[in-house]
Structure 1
Amino acid sequence: MKLSTDLMAKRTVDVVLADPCFWESDDSDIERASDDESAFELNSDDSVSESASSDCDLDGLARDVDVAIDLEHDDSDEYDDDGEAPNENAVPVKNCEWTKKLTELPDVSFVFEHLVGVNKDIEGVEHFEAVNLFQLLFTDYILRDIVVETNRYAKQCQEGRHIQKDWTNISVPELKTWLGLVIATGIVQKKGRIASYWSKHWLTQTPGFNQTMTSKRFLQILSCIHFVDNSSTTVNKSDKFWKIRTLLDYVVKRFQLVYNPEREIAVDETMLKFKGRLGIKQYIKNKPIKWGIKLFTLAESSSGYVLNIIPYAGKREDTQLSKTAQIVVDVCQPFLNKGHYLFMDNYYTSIELIEYLSQVKTLSCGTVNSNRKRLPSDMKNSATKKLKKGESLKRISNNVLAVSWKDTRVVNLLTNIPGNLDDVDIQRRDKKQGGKEVTISKPRAIITYNSYMGGVDLSDQRVATYRRHMKSLTWYIVKTLCCSSLYCT
């Protein structure tokens, strides 16, 4: 007996989100990202697939991140010889006067009195079932917009290209059903064509898909799913992401409205694998995924909850801040002047940025390239090369602590977060002594950084668990935002 549309929608979304296997996945069951090319059709010839990585807890992630990420980035085309993005409009700055006389950084922590957790003022937040929390992010408001634009696009296809002749208008309940199946394809990982989920082969069949929606209807909706009117004259089509901007901005706003993060937040990039032709494609040679589309992401450090996403859309116009500093300011904008501690890697960190963030009541900590401007001269000469394992060099200027520490290699770090001046004894295995454990000193500033830098990586790894790689721009967008919403719940 055929299920009604309303019943199918409720059944699909409820069943998917209530399934314990969704929330309690085992690492051994996680499908790794394949090297197969998938299409990201911002232009008709473009292709993409998402990054995938293993699930892990924050402690394990901190061990993986560690200070080795100091050499993670190599974007030489974007920097001048001093390590800063060239900027003719930048305001001239004075050199720092660094001192060896170490005094504890003054406790200039800004008041952080925000209630952390789910915003209880949001209607419907009192229902803590997964499906209810998911619908706090993907609300009926945005779903109705998607329904309108999808039906509009299907009609345009019928009139202009004489396809989708048998199209019947989609409704909000049917869209929820379709989204439920999109989520289910991440829980039940199958390689190959999407039609394999409707296979009747006795060994590999997944009858829930057939009982919910036909494969023809699923693919028909996938081919027509739309978020904006292509014929609109009011849309800013110079925006390289104009076709998805409405959905992206709305869901990100809901991320920020529904949940209040802890004090510690982190900014980092997410690379989405991409092998096709696209002007905004990026290359980072030391990343696991070298070619792809870059997203600048802000996340809560402890949970990986996504707070903001800004896709890289090409070189930026010059501002008073360097290009990388402006990226951080833009992605953190909704959370400035609130007393947060921000963690970042050497792609962003500079004296200029730390000083600016302090002016907007945000303290920060990050690894830094030794060729950045205004660093202590000790960090730029042979002094750091003479450091032995466990030794460190520290300098202070204008309430900013600069640290160079030698582990397997030298790592440089800047911070103005108080309480990070001392060292802590840690255990390391020494290969030269046959793997024997030895005690070395580690600056607390490095430990603090490792503890809170991994938020974006944690989010990426959790989300990647439920992605299915398939050709299609619309698939990528819907799947990525659905997975992010589910993880954030």
Structure 2
Amino acid sequence: MLLLECTKNSKIHNVFIEIRTFCFLFYFQIEDFVEQHGPNLPDGFDTESATPLDYFWLMFPVRLIAMIVRYTNSYAAWKQAREGHDKYWEDVTEPEIRAFLAVNMVMGIQQLPQMEMYWSSDPFVGNTGIQQTMTCNRFVKISQYFHVSNREEEPVRGREGYDRLFKIREIMTVLVDTFMQGYTLGREVSVDEAMIRYSGRLSFRQYMPAKPIKRGVKVWMLCDSNNAYLSKFQFYLGKTNNEREHGLGHNVVTDITSHIQHTNRWIFFDNFFSGLPLLQSLIANGLYACGTIRINRLGFPAELKKPRDVKNRGDMKILQLGDSNVTGSAWMDKKHVHHVSTLSNPNDVRDANRRVNREVVQVQQPHSVWSYNKYMGGVDLHDQLRVNYNIGRNGKKWWKYLFWFLFNCAVVNSYIVYKEVSTRLTKKKRFRHVDFRVELQRQLIAGYAKRKRSVGDQLGQNFPLVAQENMGSSREH
């Protein structure tokens, strides 16, 4: 049963007023999306020869390796000046930090309960590649002094200029830029939250009992709905004193989509963010939106909250707000499902298959339901690609969890770009995500060995060093 009813706007904004008689719907228009989406590769980048490491440097610029070396060595010196000389420490080098990052990637693929087990002499437990690359003691020492910020310049808590994310601010700023510049998003994008697991003491740690990861740091993410490319992210630091009138969800979506305004993209989000003021604000800034909505949100029409004429599976009721693009819908699946949208023509009804006992039944659904189900999963897909191979060992330092999150996101983004544009021939018929990571970690190691025997002898020399034309130097300055 399909019930379309037109509405008029009232003096009170964001309120639907139902006209009891059927009438012609107001004119509904959506502007075309005209941008050319896809990777933004530097001049001269050869997709026929570029390896996983070439793509990784596009997301995680090679200059960050030198920065990590500098800050790790300076932190070790700062620490020893206060606590005494560490006779087991020697300064790290760029090849060693690259190998250290690669070893952590290996640990994300082959996960063992204790770190020392990777250096076990038991052939069924130990990892020969890691053992040939770096000793256990050296790995522990680098982990102890590993730093990605200048400890001597860190502002004191409570003083002007204090930044709770200072320890990762510099590297985060670089990655925010490379992620946004590295890929032009398609028309459909999704906004959602993710959690970084952390159970230690932290002022902005969140507790979300309904989530698989119940305690940790919350991060807002904007991803391409079709391939899960992460374009922008924000760490949630808790409530602030300058919250604007529309609330947290409205602010997050507005901020995280600020760089794609006036592009006619379609933004999808869930009922945590949805609200009529947000949809009206987005469409005023050239963005269409669609999302589920909580029925107690201000301005959501009472006629759609528990409609008596929507009681059988496939029944629906759609209301339009005046002559605007804003529509609200109630659709009966197993229970009432509510959406608001500015991209869904009320006349557009799609078919859907639902299983009833052992039979598959075809029902109808509004365009808002169909499009939300199809395009909302971008962040979840990126999350899945990331957590399948979690990088970084458990520890006390909260900022390391955030660093490994960013590092892993760079790996996932580089894999997505590789999969989309690479024409390189490989020995494998299907070059999977894990294959990309294995080759990337081999190239990061690139023959480095803290022991006498070269890791190249163990892992093979099939992967050449990065070609100069694929370094992306034009993007690093």
Pairwise same-fold verdict (TM > 0.5): yes
The CA distance in 1 between the partners of 2:126 and 2:154, in whole Å, is: 46
SS at match of 2:167: coil
Single out whichever of 293-302 and 414-423 deviates more from structure 2.
414-423
Task: Name 1:239's counterpart in structure 2.
Answer: 163
What is the CA-CA distance between 1:233 and the residue it aligns to? 5.7
Does residue 175 in structure 1 map to residue 97 in structure 2?
yes
The CA distance in 1 between the partners of 2:68 and 2:46, in whole Å, is: 23
The CA distance in 1 between the partners of 2:371 and 2:62, in whole Å, is: 41
Going from structure 1 to structure 2, the CA distance change for 1:103 and 1:228 (only over 3 Å counts) comes to same
Amino acid at match of 2:264: G
Does residue 225 in structure 1 map to residue 146 in structure 2?
yes
Amino acid at match of 1:208: G
Query: 1:287-326 alignment to 2 at 5 Å?
Result: 287-316=211-240, 317-326=242-251
Task: Name 1:453's counterpart in structure 2.
Answer: 376
Task: Name 1:390's counterpart in structure 2.
Answer: 314
The CA distance in 1 between the partners of 2:70 and 2:308, in whole Å, is: 61
Going from structure 1 to structure 2, the CA distance change for 1:257 and 1:318 (only over 3 Å counts) comes to same
Q: Does structure 2 retain, via aligned residues, the 8 Å contact 1:266–1:300? A: yes
RMSD: 2.3
TM-score (norm: length of structure 1) = 0.75
| 2:342 paired residue among 412, 416, 422 | 416
SS at match of 2:105: helix
Gaps of 5+ in 2: 1-10, 415-477
| 1:404 paired residue among 327, 330, 353 | 330
The CA distance in 2 between the partners of 1:389 and 1:419, in whole Å, is: 21
SS at match of 2:272: coil
Does residue 252 in structure 1 map to residue 176 in structure 2?
yes
| 2:204 paired residue among 275, 280, 287 | 280
Query: 1:13-412 alignment to 2 at 5 Å?
Result: 94-99=13-18, 101=23, 103=25, 106-109=28-31, 111-121=32-42, 124=45, 126=47, 128-162=50-84, 164-190=86-112, 192-232=113-153, 238-316=162-240, 317-380=242-305, 382-383=306-307, 387-397=311-321, 398-412=324-338
What is the CA-CA distance between 1:260 and the residue it aligns to? 1.1
The CA distance in 1 between the partners of 2:155 and 2:214, in whole Å, is: 36
Task: Name 1:55's counterpart in structure 2.
Answer: none
Q: Does structure 1 retain, via aligned residues, the 8 Å contact 2:154–2:166? A: no
Amino acid at match of 1:139: P
SS at match of 1:244: helix
Going from structure 1 to structure 2, the CA distance change for 1:356 and 1:481 (only over 3 Å counts) comes to same
SS at match of 2:29: coil
Going from structure 1 to structure 2, the CA distance change for 1:211 and 1:96 (only over 3 Å counts) comes to same
TM-score (norm: length of structure 2) = 0.77
Going from structure 1 to structure 2, the CA distance change for 1:231 and 1:122 (only over 3 Å counts) comes to farther
SS at match of 1:375: coil
Task: Name 1:443's counterpart in structure 2.
Answer: 366
Going from structure 1 to structure 2, the CA distance change for 1:179 and 1:113 (only over 3 Å counts) comes to same
What per-residue deviation string (whole Å, max 9, x for no partner) do you get for residues 177-210 of structure 1? 11111111112222x2212112111222211111
What is the CA-CA distance between 1:229 and the residue it aligns to? 1.5
What per-residue deviation string (whole Å, max 9, x for no partner) do you get for residues 212-270 of structure 1? 11121122111111121222166976332221121122112111111111111100000
Larger Rg: 2
The CA distance in 2 between the partners of 1:143 and 1:229, in whole Å, is: 14
Q: Does structure 2 retain, via aligned residues, the 8 Å contact 1:400–1:415? A: yes
SS at match of 1:459: helix
Single out whichever of 123-132 and 195-204 deviates more from structure 2.
123-132
Going from structure 1 to structure 2, the CA distance change for 1:469 and 1:407 (only over 3 Å counts) comes to farther
Single out whichever of 400-409 and 454-463 deviates more from structure 2.
400-409
Task: Name 1:84's counterpart in structure 2.
Answer: none
Task: Name 1:429's counterpart in structure 2.
Answer: 355
What per-residue deviation string (whole Å, max 9, x for no partner) do you get for residues 139-173 of structure 1? 12222211111111000111111253332221222
SS at match of 2:15: coil
Q: Among all aligned residue pairs of Structure 1 and Structure 2, give the percentage whose two residues are the same amino acid.
A: 27
Amino acid at match of 2:193: E
Going from structure 1 to structure 2, the CA distance change for 1:240 and 1:385 (only over 3 Å counts) comes to farther
Amino acid at match of 2:354: R
Gaps of 5+ in 1: 1-91
The CA distance in 2 between the partners of 1:234 and 1:320, in whole Å, is: 31
What is the CA-CA distance between 1:104 and the residue it aligns to? 6.9
The alignment covers a number of residue pairs equal to: 392
Going from structure 1 to structure 2, the CA distance change for 1:384 and 1:282 (only over 3 Å counts) comes to farther
Going from structure 1 to structure 2, the CA distance change for 1:331 and 1:384 (only over 3 Å counts) comes to farther
Q: Does structure 2 retain, via aligned residues, the 8 Å contact 1:430–1:438? A: yes
Going from structure 1 to structure 2, the CA distance change for 1:336 and 1:178 (only over 3 Å counts) comes to same
What is the CA-CA distance between 1:310 and the residue it aligns to? 0.5
Task: Name 1:60's counterpart in structure 2.
Answer: none
